Structure 1
Amino acid sequence: MADLEKLPVTIVTGFLGSGKTTLISHLMKNPEGKRLAVVVNEFGDVGVDGEILKGCAIPDCPAENILELANGCICCTVADDFIPTIEALLALDPRPEHILIETSGLALPKPLLKAFDWPDIRSRITVDGVIALADAEAVAAGRFAPDVARVDAQRLADDSLDHETPLSEVFEDQISCADIVLLTKPDLAGPEGVAKAREVIAAEAPRPLPVVEVAEGAVDPRVILGLGAAAEDDMDARPSHHDTPHDHDHEDFESVVIDLPEIDTPAALVARIERLAEEQRILRVKGYAAVAGKPMRLLVQAVGARVRHQFDRPWAPDETRAGRLVVIAEHDDVDVARIRAVLAPEAVEAG
């Protein structure tokens, strides 16, 4: 039955230098018996955080369970990076029992929450909780980030970032989306600084939030894991400066399954997918195909018009040599008949 349960994911957000990596390192060493996996997206220190965490790897969180996303802020590259990464973790054997996601310091957490509503994964994972780390001294001083220059450099380096949000607004979005706030480096802030930081957080929070002081990432895992927040179903309670009437909800995406007869060449299928992306607002295409004369199955992944493919394994003797693609599009742009006509014209004609 465990395989039928949704896999819990904890999102750890906060500015560069707020202590996210230190916290995750502590959780990896104190996993409460859970088999963990970690996704690192701290763009400003590409390779550094991942290496630190891999150095902490233990049997309950081996190095192969620690994945880095270095292509930019995942709140802006959801289809390209986030969804395939989560799918890769779900395919691990043994499967992780809890996933920790360390976001980029400039990530807006709410768009990432919305990604958990994608048809590929929404039935398999749930957001157990959003943890916001806040540097007590920086918040009390109104800087919000402990090193503003490093954050600015991070923003300039990240070509994928599609928001020019002031730090104060990013901080407010992080607090608004959180289930619990960890106030880090309280020793540097002192009692007055901690009190001031608590006031700022209380003023920005849309609802009463627990605030826990944490030094060197040392927090009891029971405090922040197993919250059961199901945050993806609680969007309205997590306001953002970037909410719009067009934000995606549960009905905005639709998936279409296309059965493919054997194809002549991979290039022919790639051309069909590229044509479909030009004609309709296709977000993703994923699946496999049978290529005439080839003993291996062709694995296909596409984001928009960018298509990747590779032969992944031999066809089993008892398998039917046929393909199947899942096409994901925005609900209002789905033309099922046209999708079938473009991707599988032989099947349409035969029907």
Structure 2
Amino acid sequence: MTDAARIPATIITGFLGAGKTTLVRHLLETARGKRLAIIVNEFGSVGVDGEVLRSCGIESCPEENIVELSNGCLCCTVADEFIPTMQALIDRAAPPEHILIETSGLALPKPLVKAFGWPSIRSRLTVDGVIAVVDAPAVAEGRFADDPEAVARQRAEDPSVDHDNPLAEVYEDQLMAADLIVLNKTDLIGTEAGERLKREVLAIVPRAVKVVAAQEGRVDADVLLGLGAAAEDDLAQRPSHHDALDGAHEHDDFESFVVVVPEIGDPDDLLARLKSVAEAHDVLRIKGFVPVAGKRLRLAVQGVGARFRSSFDRPWPDGAARQGHIVVIGERGLDRAAIEDRILG
């Protein structure tokens, strides 16, 4: 499939408080009717960012097109939640024309970019660009984030984070993955400090990228969208502090697919089938959610090897189809047909 036929996605990265949500909100206001969807990687039980964006009232991005992923740092939960969410968006009768992904402040962008190479979505999506939002006053003072203690709390509250990099390394990873860097809140620092910060930023990035100064995240959609970077095919030019590690974020030797599950009657029976799949097919992880007859809440299931747990986590969205998605992850060569048959009973 050509790039023109694939839905473009923009990844927006930056520390907590850098102004990502404000940037996205302004982008919505200047999108000129383009049909957008937004994925917000929010933490905790109350999705503050999602609520802020929903209050925009932008016709081209209705409330149902704003999806919150609150189960952890996206770069650490790519296969578990991000992939099926993207598949659900592009499978809609009227799919979005562009997808915005606002990551958490702790997310390492490169693993997320690499996820677009997964077979299940590669032919239908492309990374139009990675936007790094920099808190200019904080970085100018060597703090990287406006409130480092809040970032530390964010890290402590997210059990899925499997990287514990110093903030400086996360900051550099965000810059080195970027196609466009937004120096936000430049009105709060002097012109000389702003120029010095721009030089420091460009010294970190190993390739030519544009740096844009902004106040209160005011950068038009015409600047942010349509970069055509195809970042998933340009990984070698986006170095990361994780590149030399033991492959904690690599997935080249693994595959993942999603099984769509209709409403079930007996959760215990489903868990027994999932356990038998894991044991018979050497599956590494199984995770997802399913509707249960007579239950308003969806049943979330998670298995590592043959160990499984489940819980009712949150209500089904009003008007949403009651069908579940089970993600199966293992080494390449899984017998997908046999696994699907067993899960579906």
What's the TM-score bracket when you normalise by the shorter of the two chains? 0.7 to 0.9
Contact kept, 8 Å, 1:272 with 1:342, in 2: the verdict is no
1:128-167 correspondence runs (5 A): 128-167=128-167
Q: Residue 67 of structure 1 aligns with which residue?
A: 67
* Residues 113-122 or 12-21, more deviating: 113-122
- Letter of the structure 2 residue corresponding to residue 336 of structure 1: D
**Hey, what's the Cα distance between the residues in 2 that align with 1:87 and 1:241?**
29
SS in structure 2 at match of 1:101: strand
**Hey, what's the Cα distance between the residues in 2 that align with 1:217 and 1:98?**
19
Q: Over the residues paired in the alignment, what is the CA RMSD in angstroms?
A: 3.8
Contact kept, 8 Å, 1:75 with 1:107, in 2: the verdict is yes
| 1:74-127 deviation digits (Å, cap 9, x = unpaired) | 111122221222122223332110010110001111111122222221221111
1:297-308 correspondence runs (5 A): 304=303, 305=308
**Hey, what's the Cα distance between the residues in 2 that align with 1:222 and 1:45?**
34
From the superposition, tell whether residues 5 and 248 of structure 1 become closer, same or farther in structure 2 (CA, over 3 Å): farther
1:1-351 correspondence runs (5 A): 5-43=5-43, 46-243=46-243, 244=245, 246=247, 252-254=253-255, 268=269, 270-279=271-280, 280-284=282-286, 304=303, 305=308, 328-331=329-332, 334=333, 336=335, 340=338
From the superposition, tell whether residues 167 and 250 of structure 1 become closer, same or farther in structure 2 (CA, over 3 Å): closer
Contact kept, 8 Å, 1:10 with 1:128, in 2: the verdict is yes
Contact kept, 8 Å, 2:8 with 2:125, in 1: the verdict is yes
- Letter of the structure 2 residue corresponding to residue 330 of structure 1: E
- Letter of the structure 1 residue corresponding to residue 5 of structure 2: E
From the superposition, tell whether residues 4 and 185 of structure 1 become closer, same or farther in structure 2 (CA, over 3 Å): closer
Report how far residue 18 of structure 1 moved. 0.6
Unaligned segments of structure 1, at least 5 residues:
289-293, 295-299, 315-324
Contact kept, 8 Å, 1:114 with 1:248, in 2: the verdict is no
- Letter of the structure 2 residue corresponding to residue 329 of structure 1: G
- Letter of the structure 2 residue corresponding to residue 141 of structure 1: E
Contact kept, 8 Å, 1:36 with 1:100, in 2: the verdict is yes
> How many residues are paired up?
320
